[in-house]
Amino acid sequence: ISSHFNLVFSAPTFPLHVPIKSDDTDGLLHSSSGWREEGNSASFTHILRFELEQNRWHFHFPLCVVAVSPKITEISSDISINEGGNVSLTCIATGRPDPTITWRHISPKAVGFISEDEYLEITGITREQSGEYECSASNDVAAPVVQRVKVTVNYPPYISDAKSTGVPVGQKGILLCEASAVPSADFQWYKDDKRLAEGQKGLKVENKAFFSRLTFFNVSEQDYGNYTCVASNQLGNTNASMILYEETTTALTPWKGPGAVHDGNNGAWRRGGCVWLLALPLAQLARQF
């Protein structure tokens, strides 16, 4: 048996004493240590060089310290759920020391962490709780690792804005209907009980994700009346009524001479104050004759 060799230990063990027969009577034990990094982990190894001492081999197994950066090994997939349902999200991570898991809602209104556990439970979810949820795994070895899960909350439409509009005959008129819904709403327009179709003469229906616009290019007397906007998706529907009415113009004839002022509120022209000041003396002269 050789009395000089090296051992490299990579796991915790314990002291071990093994008696042997040998003519050697004494010896010395030497050791050295160092760090080794591989990928996302770092390990501490202790190398022993030992000799025979008093007819016994002395095995001193050192404690090996291994540090591993966190790694998320399992996380929930993106989810779509109807408003009022329950949500359960999972985030599993490994590392040494064991990483700390936290969840937070990525939202301007969210404050701090909403869970400090591998599991996040949301009961009766609302539309305000939709968005991205971030799982973070951290320990003292490396920077935290994060992954996100998108939670989509579906809800039926509700109309947030629908206003009546006044337009003079011969002018362009617009009725606007705004609605919020997930999935996005489909819009339909009705006058009384008759549905208005895209491409109908003199009309244009423009539907977007969150609003619908009904445009009249040249308003006539027949266009005035009550209109209904209907917004719907697979979860439900809602409607709102509005009126396109005739907006009358001022009886005064526009006069663009000196002193004329344009009224930005109604688009009409009004005469300057000096004209009205002359009207009073003329009326007094008429009474004298």
Tens-digit pLDDT profile for the chain (289 aa)?
333 334 444 444 444 444 434 344 444 444 444 445 455 544 444 444 455 556 665 555 555 668 999 999 999 999 999 999 999 999 999 999 999 999 999 987 776 678 889 999 999 999 999 999 999 999 989 999 999 999 999 999 999 999 999 999 999 999 999 999 999 999 999 998 899 987 788 899 999 999 999 999 999 999 999 999 999 999 999 999 999 999 886 544 443 333 333 333 333 333 333 333 333 343 443 444 4
Alpha-carbon radius of gyration of the chain? 41
For residue 78, give the nearest of 13, 130, 143, 3 by alpha carbon.
130
Domain map (residue ranges) of the chain: 5-64, 70-155, 163-246, 255-289
Indicate if 163-246 has the same CATH topology as 70-155: yes
Q: Report the alpha-carbon distance of residue 131 to residue 152 in Å, rounded.
A: 6
Q: Report the alpha-carbon distance of residue 57 to residue 21 in Å, rounded.
A: 10
Q: Which CATH architecture has domain 70-155?
A: Sandwich (2.60)
pLDDT at residue 152, as a whole number: 97
pLDDT at residue 186, as a whole number: 96
Instruction: Tell me the DSSP string of 125-187.
Output: --GGG-EEEEEEEE-SSS--EEEEEEEEEEEEEEEEEE--EEE-TTS-EEEEEEEEEESPPEE
pTM for this prediction: 0.63
pLDDT at residue 261, as a whole number: 31
CATH class in words for 163-246: mainly beta
How many Cα atoms sit within 13 Å of 235 on the Cβ side? 16
Token pair 């606007």 in the structure block, residue: 176
Helix (H, G, I), strand (E, B) or coil at 58: strand
